[in-house]
Chain A
Amino acid sequence: GAVVSQHPSRVICKSGTSVKIECRSLDFQATTMFWYRQFPKQSLMLMATSNEGSKATYEQGVEKDKFLINHASLTLSTLTVTSAHPEDSSFYICSARSSWARFETEAFFGQGTRLTVV
């Protein structure tokens, strides 16, 4: 149990276009999902926290109009990178927190999405 699926695993897009990344909890309800970004040879940095049915909370320095997060259901959160530029090229990873008592001390990570903007 506690599987998080992220799609796509890799995407290449042209500068100026938008890209949507999906994060799904396959076998549990995720009340909260987190989005992280990892630049090459760097650690993971939290971008935002999304709660089902409410607006996402963004970390300082993350542009909310550029990184649109939607958490419309208990099993799906999406991150849309709008007007992508080469500097947005990165590895994006989501994690999801379960509402099950058995898992209440950890969140579960997706496989990540490698975004390349050309």
Chain B
Amino acid sequence: AQSVTQLGSHVSVSEGALVLLRCNYSSSVPPYLFWYVQYPNQGLQLLLKYTTGATLVKGINGFEAEFKKSETSFHLTKPSAHMSDAAEYFCAVDRNAGGTSYGKLTFGQGTILTVHP
């Protein structure tokens, strides 16, 4: 079974500061990992994903994440926060990674990112 833990339900940073959102996973198979962003009353937008290959994954809006198997982590970072980054972020693992039934996700609890001037 797969599970995801996001450390910190709220993260607050200053504009221009480093953003670090933590995600640890548990998976019985090689994981497919995702980061999504959600703005209020909206659906999910994919920021980036890791499936296979390069462990440092670059996504949209300057975000990136590194898959570290030894630490079972997939932390999301951005060098310089912008006010528009304020939103809720979800880390997710695909329950059937490596098989043919992808798309069924287990989500972490979410982290609300606040960016202040």
B-contacting residues of A (Cβ < 8 Å)?
Answer: 6, 32, 34, 42-46, 49, 91, 93, 95, 97, 104-107, 109-112, 114
By size class, the interface of chain B is 20 to 34
- CB pair B43 A49 closer than 8 Å: no
Interface assignment of B42: CB less than 8 Å from any CB of chain A: yes
- CB pair A111 B43 closer than 8 Å: yes
- CB pair B43 A110 closer than 8 Å: yes
- CB pair A114 B41 closer than 8 Å: yes
Query: Hey, what's the 0/1 contact readout for B88-109 against A, CB within 8 Å counting as 1?
Result: 0010000000000111111111
- Report the separation of the CA atoms of residues A34 and B107 in the bound assembly, to the nearest whole angstrom: 13
Q: Among B41, B103, B106, point to the contact of A107 (Cβ < 8 A).
A: B103
A-contacting residues of B (Cβ < 8 Å)?
Answer: 32, 34, 36, 41-46, 49, 51, 90, 101-110
| Chain A residues, CB < 8 A from B51 | 105
Q: Is the interface of B mostly helix, strand, loop or mixed?
A: loop
- CB pair B108 A93 closer than 8 Å: no
- Report the separation of the CA atoms of residues A33 and B10 in the bound assembly, to the nearest whole angstrom: 31
| Chain B residues, CB < 8 A from A112 | 41-43
How many Å from the CB of B22 to the closest CB on chain A? 15
Supplied contacts A43-B107, A46-B105, A97-B102, 16 more A-B pairs, CB within 8 Å: A6-B43, A34-B105, A42-B110, A43-B108, A43-B110, A44-B44, A44-B90, A44-B107, A49-B104, A95-B44, A95-B103, A106-B46, A106-B102, A109-B43, A109-B46, A112-B43
- CB pair A34 B104 closer than 8 Å: yes
- Report the separation of the CA atoms of residues A107 and B94 in the bound assembly, to the nearest whole angstrom: 10
Most interface-central of A34, A45, A105, A111 (chain B CB within 10 A): A105
Q: List 21 A-B contacts (CB under 8 A).
A: A32-B101, A34-B103, A34-B105, A42-B110, A43-B107, A43-B110, A44-B44, A44-B90, A44-B107, A46-B105, A95-B44, A97-B103, A105-B49, A106-B102, A109-B36, A109-B44, A109-B46, A112-B41, A112-B42, A112-B43, A114-B41
